[in-house]
Amino acid sequence: MTVHIGAKPGDIAETVLLPGDPYRAKWAAETFLENAVCVNEVRGMLGFTGTWKGNRVTIHGSGMGMPSLSIYANELIKDYDAKTLIRIGSCGGMQDDVKVRDVILAMTASSLSTPSSGIFKEFNFAPCADFGLLQAAHNAAKGKSATTHVGGIYSSDVFYDERPDLNEQMVRHGILGVEMEAAELYNLASRYGRRALAVLTVSDHLKTGEALPSDQRERSFGDMVEIALEAAFA
């Protein structure tokens, strides 16, 4: 048990999927896991452990933004010995060929700053995904209905962005999408020698303004969860 996670020793699996929304964690656990049990509800941040094809999996909310994810990822790694951490979440598309409902596999995650910036100081560390997970996810995606893209994403500090000049440069340099958590997850995984990946569903588009209605989001997230699970145990 930690300050933010009430799970007992042994309650958390070595493989953890991390949606931002705790209720998305509940939906994913009920939809994809067998015998899922709630192992955490401290501060309303739900976590569930069950099995997928005989493999133990925990699906645990991380909250919104890198500071929140950093809390949960740190405790899952250092106190519960999580070894594989995969973010499953939504993102905004930034390229013309990236469409709403597509899936992005984040090879790298650029950022202006992260909770780890105080450690790196003037050094611009380039956090990236675990190659084995990335390769396995790419293979798993071939059998899914969603179009899949592999490349760099941008992890933003803010949701309500007021930097159109920065967005223009992101698009110019091939950034596929924007979200708010992956860069810090990749930093922590590198620091502690763990495997990490972000598998993201495009829920809206910065250039076109198209967005999935809230009642359609979960139906469109199924491919993302299946890709993450298949990659974890490939």
Phi, psi of 220 (to 5 degrees): -85, -10
Residue 89 marked ligand-binding: yes
Place of tokens 């620091």: 191
Ligand-binding annotation for 92, yes or no, is no
Residue 27: what residue type?
A: W
**Would the annotation count 61 as a binding residue?**
no
Calculate ∠ Cα 221-229-159, nearest 5°: 45
Annotated catalytic residue: which of 21, 97, 204, 215?
204
On whether the CB atoms of residues 5 and 69 are closer than 8 A, the answer is no
Using CA atoms, how far apart are residues 117 and 24, in angstroms rounded to an integer? Answer: 29
Please tell me whether 122 is known to bind a ligand: no
44 in a labelled binding site: no
204 carries an active-site annotation: yes
Answer yes or no: is 173 a known binding residue.
no
Residue 87 assigned as binding residue: yes
| Number of neighbours of residue 126 by Cβ within 10 angstroms | 11
Crossing angle of helices 222-232/22-32, nearest 10°? 70
Instruction: Please check if 88 is assigned to a binding site.
Output: yes
Cα separations in angstroms, 134 against 47, 178, 228 = 24, 18, 10
180 annotated to a ligand binding site = yes
Annotated binding site for phosphate: 20, 24, 43, 87-90
Annotated binding site: 4, 20, 24, 43, 87-90, 179-181, 203-204
Annotated binding site for a purine D-ribonucleoside: 4, 179-181, 203-204
Active site residues: 204
